[in-house]
């Protein structure tokens, strides 16, 4: 089932989480860490990009120091898809097993938001939990809700 924005000006929010296999300072994660600024810069320059959470080093998504968090807002689904699957970001998604463990919970969720919404940790956690407990709905959905989307056919993609 596809979920469409309730109004033409609504935007698409997304959250994804992942658990690193080693700390950000470990050589095992260095290729990922070294690419973060480049990948985030590409996102910020993409048509349709509106906002992303910027980690100031003072906030955590949970008590696990190996958990990382990404949230962003886009004009629409095609804009997010072009970034995720049509840029170098896709190569990092393909390599995620090198840096991230498998979580038992949902790692990725999307939902429609009113214009200028900024995603909070609390809201992101709620959307991920809801998708995991209840499956796709207007409250939270994943890539499988859009069969024509150019993405892997999994609920847990992409890792940040």
Domain residues of the chain, as ranges?
11-145
Give percent helix, percent strand, percent coil of the chain, each to the nearest 5. 35, 20, 45
| Listed residue (14, 128, 22) closest to 67, CA to CA | 22
CB 72 within 8 A of CB 13: yes
Class of domain 11-145: alpha beta
For the chain, strand residue ranges (E) read 11-20, 49-52, 67-74, 100-101, 108-113
pTM (global) more than 0.85:
yes
Per-residue pLDDT of the chain (160 residues; tens, 9 = 90+): 889 999 999 999 999 999 999 999 999 999 999 999 999 999 999 999 999 999 866 556 678 889 999 999 999 999 999 999 999 999 999 999 999 999 999 999 999 999 999 999 999 999 999 999 999 999 999 988 887 655 544 333 344 4
- For 58, other C-beta atoms within 10 Å of its C-beta total 5
């Amino acid at each position: 089932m596809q979920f469409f924005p309730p109004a033409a000006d609504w935007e698409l929010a997304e959250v994804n989480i992942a658990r690193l296999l080693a700390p950000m300072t470990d050589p095992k994660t260095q290729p990922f860490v070294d690419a973060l600024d480049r990948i985030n810069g590409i996102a910020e320059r993409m048509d349709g990009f509106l906002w992303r959470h910027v980690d100031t080093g003072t906030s955590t998504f949970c008590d696990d120091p190996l958990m990382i968090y990404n949230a962003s807002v886009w004009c629409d689904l095609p804009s997010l898809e072009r970034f995720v699957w049509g840029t170098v970001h896709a190569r990092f998604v393909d390599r995620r097993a090198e840096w991230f463990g498998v979580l038992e919970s949902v790692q990725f969720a999307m939902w429609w938001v009113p214009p200028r919404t900024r995603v909070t940790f609390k809201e992101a956690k709620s959307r991920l939990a809801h998708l995991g407990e209840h499956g796709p709905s207007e409250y939270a959905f994943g890539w499988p809700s859009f069969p024509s989307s150019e993405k892997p056919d999994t609920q847990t993609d992409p890792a940040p």
